[in-house]
Structure 1
Amino acid sequence: MTTHTAPPPMQESLLDVGGRKIFVAETGDGPPVLLLHGGGPGASGVSNYARNIAELATEFRVVVPDLPGYGRSTKGIDLTDPFGALATGIRGLLDRLGLDRAHLVGNSYGGACALRLALDTPDRVDRMVLMGPGGIGTTRALPTPGLNSLLNYYTGDGPSRLKLERFVRDYLVFNAAQVPDSVIDARYRDSIDPEVVADPPLRRPKSAATLWKMDFTRDKRLNRLAVPTLVLWGGADKVNRPTGGRMLADRMPDCDLYEVANTGHWVQWERADLFNQLCAAFLAGRR
């Protein structure tokens, strides 16, 4: 089994962004790259990209925030337009860091955040790498079993380690045996933060208007979004359907698509070596 370099020592900050706090870890030197994590229970920036930070930091300034509502950032987001709320927070973070432009790398919920930020303010984004982003065809089919598992985590009898383990092992990855118990334990601990339990940042949309805002394939701006984009999608993704990759490639004018065989929703973790190589090359313009 391939071993992965542990994340290097990182400078940590808790920054005020529009009256809310966003936690950020940074390392490396070079063009700035923001790594935006997914929205599963217990998710956070450094944990989601633990197998990628060190390798990318050899070439880039790697900035890893906890998205609004997650980790050590201020809890709660505007659930009437969640992707817009996330994009506003991360755009404010760019301002706070003094960055006019940056590369964006986003997995799942973080991919939706990156895409919304690019649609609203394309001048702030150099290049994007999206891994199984949310919001692709969300109004055109029923939710997947994996997405239902994610959305049901805080409902019913509430969060539990068993529910978290089932989501990660049954839906997040292709090969459940690769996920150590320590990953499950850490995510479960973070998922039961009382502030998160009281106000989960990812929930079922309560109105059709909100749901339509969360479907990028209905946004006409997508057809003219010229930001160079690489889409990586696990061929066995059970959370967001791999057909979403083709939808993006068909609509965006400068979009490369790479479907990764025998891989689930967590491409950057399951196929870290491949991801690190493709991501670094694409962001550096070595397409």
Structure 2
Amino acid sequence: MLAVAAPASSTTGYGEQLQGFEYPYPLHHFDLESQGQALQMGYMDVAPTGEANGHTAVLLHGKNFCAATWGDSIKALSAQGYRVVAPDQIGFCTSSKPEHYQYSFQQLSANTHALLSQLGIDKASVIGHSTGGMLATRYALLYPSNTEKLVLVNPIGLEDWKALGVPWRSVDQWYERELKLDAAGIRKYEQSTYYAGNWKPEYDRWVDMLAGLNKGPGHKRVAWNSALIYDMIFTQPVIYEMPQLKVPTVLLIGDADTTAIGSDIAPPQVKAKIGHYKVLGKQAAALIPGARLIEFAGMGHAPQMEDPAAFNKVLVEQLSQK
């Protein structure tokens, strides 16, 4: 294991591709051409530490997360014989931040598929958390024959915020918002929304990761890509297409989660009716043919980080089921 990053009180920013922040496993880069640009995707490719079972697990991170936040799950899955691939999507973390990019979940799915093809992986179980759950759903819709199983961990996009009355923000407005991000604001938001009001010292590392990326030398490019990505998330809900999924699907839901894009500017009557994962998880499971729902009572947006041992036990069990 590599050395951990500096504590959240550090004033040192990280590079535009998160240079200076250590990942739990060796970091590789996949070079690709996309939208007329030469880009790079950072990723970890971890071999089984237990007896190889011939299966691959692909872990897709969320908006305010990175592949590194999957460290505990990578360890647990590799111990059970899985090859584990955890990429950073374009615009995030250790990957390129293009000056201009038309973000769509189809595009990010195609990029991920190209990476897996380059690695010689034809079929994999795809596990997506948060925004990564939206991406994993789109990936399974586009590439059902390449998706062995689909696991959605507190995915966002289980409701159409704009249709429910959340105000639209322009990309310029998102950009101005993202330029103001700092560690204190990130911590306050994550504690109230992601962790049901709780906080553990180990979460500080992830605040530092995000805050350091946002205050580093690529600050403006990072903020601009973040703004484009938020526009993608807000305008491309996947909930309407969940009934079309044709792969075995499991939902792993922390039922105390309250994440909802735009809730900070939504009118009180709108804010009151969005982000209720105790309801959203059940609604999504009912939409997806044959889906299984496992709820983590009292946990928030990131159960894999709140209680890694309990979460990874369930994840391994679900992946091994026929």
Q: TM-score range by the shorter chain?
A: 0.7 to 0.9
1:122–1:227 Cα contact (<8 Å) kept: yes
The answer to whether the 8 Å contact 2:103/2:229 transfers is: no
Residue 76 of structure 2 aligns with an amino acid whose one-letter code is E
In the superposition, the TM-score normalised over structure 2's length comes to 0.74
Match of 2:96 in 1: 74
Q: Structure 1 residues 133-142 or 84-93, which shifts more?
A: 133-142
**Does the C-alpha gap of structure 1 residues 154 and 266 become closer, same or farther in structure 2, counting only changes over 3 Å?**
farther
**Tell me, which stretches of 5 or more residues in structure 1 are unaligned?**
1-5, 145-150
Runs of 4+ in structure 1 over 6 Å off: 6-9
Partner Cα separation in structure 2 for residue 45 and residue 204 of structure 1: 18
Contact 2:63 / 2:131 at 8 angstroms: preserved in 1?
Answer: yes
1:134 is the counterpart of 2:170: no
1:1-287 matches, within 5 Å, as: 10-18=25-33, 19-29=38-48, 30=52, 31-40=55-64, 43-46=65-68, 48-59=69-80, 60-76=82-98, 81-138=103-160, 139-142=162-165, 155=177, 158-180=180-202, 181-193=204-216, 194=218, 195-200=221-226, 203-205=229-231, 214-219=236-241, 222-240=242-260, 241=275, 242=277, 243-285=279-321
Q: Is the Cα–Cα contact under 8 Å of residues 69 and 77 in structure 1 kept in the other structure? A: no
Contact 1:76-1:200 within 8 A present in 2 as well: no
The answer (yes or no) to whether the contact 2:175–2:227 under 8 Å persists in 1 is no
Aligned length: 266
Residue pair 1:153, 1:159 contacting (<8 A) in 2 also = no
**Percent identity of the aligned residues?**
24
Tell me how far 1:223 sits from its aligned partner. Answer: 2.0
Q: Which range moves more in the overlay, 234-243 or 185-194?
A: 185-194
Quote the offset at 1:280 in angstroms.
Answer: 0.9
CA–CA separation in structure 2 for the residues paired with 1:94 and 1:280: 21
| Structure whose alpha-carbon radius of gyration is higher | 2
The residue type paired with residue 87 of structure 1 is S
C-alpha distance in 1 between matches for 2:244 and 2:148: 15
Q: CA RMSD in A?
A: 2.8
Structure 1, residues 114-137: CA drift from partner, whole Å, max 9, x if none? Answer: 100111121110001111112222
Looking at structure 2, the residues matched to 233 and 76 of structure 1 have their Cα atoms a distance apart, in angstroms, of: 33
The residue aligned with 1:147 is: none
Q: TM-score, normalised by structure 1?
A: 0.82
